[in-house]
Chains A and B, each alone.
Chain A
Amino acid sequence: MPALWLLCIVLAIAVIGFFLGRARAMASAQGDARHLHSLPGYYGYNTALTVLVPALGVMIAWLILQPMLIQNAVSDAIPGTAYADTGALNLIMSDVRRVADGLDLAIAQGAMTPDAATALSTETTNIRETLAQVGVALGSDVEPYVLSAAQDYRRLNGIGHLAMTVIVLALAIGGFAFAYLRTNKDFRARNVVEKGVLAMLIFAASIAIMTTIGIVLSLVFNTVEFFKLYPWTEFFFGLTWAPSFGGGSELGIIPLFWGTFYISIIALAVAVPVGLFAAIYLSEYATPAVRAFAKPMLEVLAGIPTIVYGLFALLTVGPALVTVFGPDATGWMGGSRAVITAGLVMGIMLIPFVSSLSDDIINSVPQAMRDGSLGLGATKSETIKQVVMPAALPGIVGAILLAASRAIGETMIVVLGAGAAARLSMNPFEAMTTVTAKIVSQLTGDADFASPEALVAFALGMTLFVITLGLNVFALWIVRKYREQYE
């Protein structure tokens, strides 16, 4: 792996640079560290960082950009007659990459000489068979233009790797020389190193922003692609969800929305009363011993992964509900996957979420309020209902909104517990599906990423992201306002 070797070489130069830079600084101060501007180590760090940062920065950027640039260059070379739309082009390009990788692999395994690989032609060799021998399976025979594109791809890749190696090494050595020559006893190494470190800290802090930008861009680009293939009016207002990979899909989001909404409502109907009353009891009534036991126990529920809840819904709660409401009893429920199953289990998952947020909020209501009410002869429950709750209301609304956003974005419970059928129905005993469950089903499996049936997942994700983000921003704003009021 040349990139790995390159990394090791750069690291080695940095380590050597550290010791040489330090030694040079000491030498310029006649071996007495007191004559130096900074501690000797800083001169070493300065050299090492000057070697590492530019070289590795360029290397990472190169590794990310090179495939894209080469991809574009090569796909321009493919004749326009060979494909109908971007989807077909993507398929051809993945063939091109596979052929190119296969040829590289064949050379690496010694099945082919480099020259032979370059001289290959579709007329003289059956490339599909040749590559199958080294373990690369192709879906179809290799067209001439695919082979030539693959050769281009390999050539450009080779040039790219060579150029990268040269430039990165040049940067590393140049950085070393620059820093080493600058090193003398009056050089303000500490300040320079600290500036460098600060820049790295800022970079780390920006990763959060970059993540958001990444999310937004990946959603927006693919959503735009989707709306090019499928009218947005039908997506947002369509009442039917019936994807078929053969084409002619109906991709209306409303049934998915309804399922999401219905399940979330049931979940909140379970979690809010239980969580809120539990929080009230634990913060206002419970003895310290009860609180010390019950609070962490409830929080255990929050630490359990959602896959566990999913399994619990599918294999325990669902069948249990069927024995009560199923065909053998009241007959309301057909199968164990239903809105009520998912909603109930999701409600259990949200109990600790609601209760610990509400607990915080109830505790931040000043004791003076309670004293005032109790001092007037109110009972505890009157105090809670008429003074504490109204005072905490904005915060609790915020907590419930956060819980709602959790419920809307929850995936595993609905994938396992809610079913796969998109339906507009009021019956909670029926199976329905949600936005998240459909994102999973549209993007797993061997879907072609250029088809509307796969791209719709991004539009669904976009909608989900916008809704949960809106809820979160609003809820966090309410909670923050509320906290400020009592601080």
Chain B
Amino acid sequence: MTDATSTPPGGGARTKSSLMTLDNRVRRRNAAEARFRAYGIAAVTVGLIFLALLLFAIVRNGVPAFTQTFMTIPVELKADKLDKNGNRDIEEIKKVSTFGYKPLIIDAMSRTLADNGIESPFAKDKDLEKMVSASASAQIRDFVIANPGRIGETVDFRVLASSRVDGYMKGRVAREDLARDKNLDAEHLDVTDALNEAGVLKREFNWAFILGADASESRPEQAGIGVSMLGSFFMMLVVLGLALPIGVAASIYLEEFAPKNRWTDLIEVNISNLAAVPSIVFGILGLAVFIQFAHLPQSAPLVGGLVLTLMTLPTIIISTRASLKAVPPSIRDAALGVGASKMQSVFHHVLPLAMPGILTGTIIGLAQALGETAPLLLIGMVGYIASNYPDGIASGFLDPNSAMPAQIYEWAKRADPAYYERAWGGIIILLLFLMTMNIIAIILRRRFERRW
């Protein structure tokens, strides 16, 4: 210990100071500390503010989609228009197209105005047509075809108001906007106000948005997300049916049986990299392999499901392996010790114990797949108007359909801003599904989680 010198290393430069007084340097350092901490708080706050803004935007813009403006109008089903020959022949009645019903609606509107003592500001009653959704004539026609006996009567119909009237009722369309809008004039809004006061116009909860089908570009008031919800449902069936068994089987092999060699190393590296491959690349894969190569039908939920399966597999494998790893070796040893084969020990003991973890991982993987859009764009699940419910199970898998996120994208692309409201509303439904799935996963984890 010859190196030790008797003076302290700093040469005794420091004078003895009291602990009770802070020197300037410590004060400066403490200020830096406070600043640093403030940056941290600011960062967390910024993150939370972004989340709050996002949720606020979704709720504020999306909630109106769940209500819709309806009006009840008395329509006289004039026999001379609908059934010229008067023989109530259903084939002849069917020949009258929806166009033939328009005059009835216009009449009904002007009668409604008259009944409520509202003076029509229009020179021609025809202008009133713009206030009613184009879907109304189809609705009335369907009624007439179903009940040909009621031709000649006056029946009260609850019809959708047009999207502009609806937008005005919801505050989405302002009077200033009308200058650029050829679909509606200021007079229409006056009539709307009057009808609203008279209680003819009503904003009601719109089940058709949740359960209904998509509509063409020009009638946003009629569009619903129900059909694409079914598309998503069939896709999730495919994902669940394939990704869960394959993922679990692959994880069991890799975790329990695989020898440590190059091949398994390669599989492992490959899986962790696949999990980070951009989803759009899976779309290209689906397009090239399932559609170009295997000639599976375009836009079919089956193909969407296959693509999402491949995309979800790495997630499921990674979480399944983690839950298999969490089962302690003592369980395996105990089973092997009483003479079970390796396979029996895994299937009888390890797998059941790991099941809650596997299910949690699978649900989270499914939630991811449910919200994924990009690959669906490439296999043609966008740009398709999902207007028909599938007829059965086979048609559910194979007939062209859309999916919830793809439907939302489709609405976001459409020119009519009324569709934006639908897109936000669709997001609320999608997020409700995702939230439910995640809550189930959390409950599963809480309930069955075991600490060894």
- Chain A interface (Cβ within 8 Å of chain B)? 1, 64, 67-68, 97, 190, 194, 197-198, 200-209, 211-212, 214-215, 218-219, 221-222, 273-278, 280-282, 284-286, 294, 297-298, 300-301, 303-312, 314-316, 348, 351-352, 355, 379-382, 384-385, 402, 405-406, 408-412, 415-416, 436, 439-440, 443-445, 449, 457-458, 461, 464-465, 468-469, 472-473, 476
Minimum-distance CB pairs A-B, first 9: A409-B278, A305-B371, A281-B40, A218-B288, A277-B43, A204-B249, A381-B36, A201-B253, A411-B374
Interface segment, one of B5-13, B71-79, B172-180, B265-273: B265-273
- Contact status B47-A469, CB under 8 Å: no
Contact, CB under 8 Å: B285 / A218:
yes
Residue of B whose beta carbon sits closest to that of A441: B377
Distance from A109 Cβ to chain B, minimum over Cβ atoms (Å): 16
Establish whether residues B58 and A308, one from each chain, have CB atoms under 8 Å apart when the complex forms.
Answer: yes
B383 touches A445 (CB 8 A): yes
Our pick among A218, A280, A305, A412 for the contact of B430 (Cβ within 8 Å) is A305
Bound complex: CA of A97 vs CA of B291, how far in Å? Answer: 14
Chain B residues within an 8 Å CB radius of A218:
284-285, 287-289, 293
* A204 pairs with B37, CB closer than 8 A: no
Q: Which of B48, B53, B273 contacts A297 (CB 8 A)?
A: B48
Specify which chain B residues have a CB less than 8 angstroms from the CB of A380 in the assembled complex: 33, 36-37
Closest to A444 in B: B377
Q: How far is the CA of A208 from the CA of B274 in the complex (A)?
A: 8
Which of B36, B273, B279, B285 is A411 in contact with, Cβ under 8 Å? B279
A190 near B378: Cβ-Cβ < 8 Å: no
- Chain A residues closer than 8 Å to B283, beta-carbon distance: 439, 443
| Interface of A (DSSP majority class) | helix
What is the minimal beta-carbon distance from B252 to any residue of chain A, in angstroms? Answer: 6
A-B contact pairs, 13 of them (CB 8 A): A64-B294, A198-B343, A215-B284, A218-B288, A218-B293, A277-B39, A305-B371, A380-B33, A382-B33, A411-B373, A412-B374, A440-B377, A440-B378
Q: Does B143 contact A (CB under 8 A)?
A: no
Structural contact, B310 and A305, CB atoms closer than 8 A? no
> Known contacts A281-B37, A384-B36: does B57 contact A312 (CB below 8 Å)?
yes
Question: Which of B102-110, B126-134, B204-212, B419-427 is the contact stretch?
Answer: B419-427
For B33, give its contact among A64, A215, A379 (CB under 8 Å). A379
Residues of B contacting A384 in the complex (Cβ-Cβ under 8 angstroms): 36
Interface status of B101 (Cβ within 8 A of chain A) = no
Task: Specify which chain A residues have a CB less than 8 angstroms from the CB of B135 in the assembled complex.
Answer: none
Residues of B within 8 A of A476 (CB): 269, 272-273, 276
Cβ contact within 8 Å between B51 and A300: yes
Contacts A297-B47, A306-B372, A411-B373 known; 18 new A-B pairs at CB < 8 A = A208-B274, A215-B277, A277-B42, A278-B47, A281-B40, A281-B43, A281-B44, A284-B40, A294-B48, A307-B408, A312-B57, A348-B50, A381-B32, A381-B33, A406-B276, A412-B374, A469-B273, A472-B276
In angstroms, Cα B266 to Cα A97, docked, is: 40
A307-B373 contact, Cβ under 8 Å, with A458-B288, A468-B276, A468-B277: yes
Assign chain B's interface to a size class.
Answer: 35 or more
| A282 B44 Cβ-Cβ under 8 A | yes
- CB pair A278 B43 closer than 8 Å: yes
Q: Which residues of B contact A469 (CB under 8 A)?
A: 273, 277
Residues of chain B within 8 A of A281, CB atoms compared: 37, 39-41, 43-44
Option from A222, A284, A315, A348 in Cβ contact (under 8 Å) with B61:
A315
A203–B246 Cα gap in the complex (Å)?
9
Q: Is the CB of A411 within 8 A of B252?
A: no
Bound together, the chains give a CA A97 to CA B40 distance in angstroms of 63
What residues on A are CB-neighbors of B29 within 8 Å? 379, 382
Check: B234 CB closer than 8 A to any chain A CB: no
The closest CB in chain B to the CB of A64 belongs to B294
Specify which chain B residues have a CB less than 8 angstroms from the CB of A274 in the assembled complex.
Answer: 43, 46-47
Cβ of B257 under 8 Å from chain A: yes
Determine the chain B residues whose CB is within 8 A of the CB of A443 once the complex forms: 283-284, 287, 377-378
A351 touches B284 (CB 8 A): no
Q: Which of B286-311 contact A (CB under 8 A)?
A: 287-289, 292-295, 310
Q: What residues of chain A lie closer than 8 Å to B370, measured between beta carbons?
A: 305
Distance in Å from the Cβ of B365 to the closest Cβ of chain A? 12
CA distance A312 to B62 in the complex (A): 12
Specify which chain A residues have a CB less than 8 angstroms from the CB of B326 in the assembled complex. none
- CB B342 to nearest CB in A, in angstroms, measures 8
**A457 and B313 contacting across the interface, CB-CB below 8 Å:** no
B226 beta carbon closer than 8 Å to chain A: no
Q: Is the CB of A311 within 8 A of B43?
A: no
Residue in B44, B249, B276, B288 whose CB lies within 8 Å of A298: B44
For B282, the chain A residues whose CB sits under 8 A away are 215
CA distance A276 to B39 in the complex (A): 10
* Cα distance A311–B424 in the bound complex, in angstroms: 8
B405 within 8 A of A: yes
Which of B285, B405, B409 lies at the interface centre, i.e. has the most chain A CB atoms within 10 A of its CB?
B285
The answer to whether B39 and A468 touch across the interface, beta carbons within 8 angstroms, is no
Asked if A436 meets B249 with Cβ closer than 8 Å, knowing A218-B284, A278-B47, A294-B48, the reply is no
Contact among B43, B246, B280, B424 with A207 in the assembled complex (CB-CB below 8 Å): B246
A416 to chain B, nearest CB (A): 6
B112 at the interface (CB under 8 A from A): no
Q: Find the A residue at minimum CB distance from B284.
A: A461
Q: Which among B41, B313, B372, B409 is the interface contact of A211 at CB below 8 angstroms?
A: B313
Interface residues of B in 12-40 (CB under 8 A from A): 29-30, 32-33, 35-37, 39-40
User: How far apart sit A303 and B295, CA to CA, in the bound complex (Å)?
Assistant: 34
In the bound assembly, the distance between CA atoms of A465 and B277 in angstroms comes to: 7
Q: Does any Cβ of A come within 8 Å of B314's Cβ?
A: yes
Tell me which of B36, B48, B367, B438 has the highest count of chain A C-beta atoms within 10 A of its own C-beta. B36
Please report the C-alpha to C-alpha distance between residue A194 and residue B252 in the assembled complex, in whole angstroms. Answer: 13
Is B317's CB within 8 Å of the partner chain A? yes
Asked whether any CB of chain A lies closer than 8 Å to the CB of B341, the reply is: yes
Q: What CA separation (Å) do A472 and B270 show in the bound complex?
A: 11
Q: Please tell me if the beta carbons of B253 and A465 are within 8 angstroms of each other in the complex.
A: no
Measured between alpha carbons, how far is A30 from B438 in the docked complex, in Å?
Answer: 53
In-complex Cβ contact of B47 among A301, A311, A415, A416 (8 A): A301
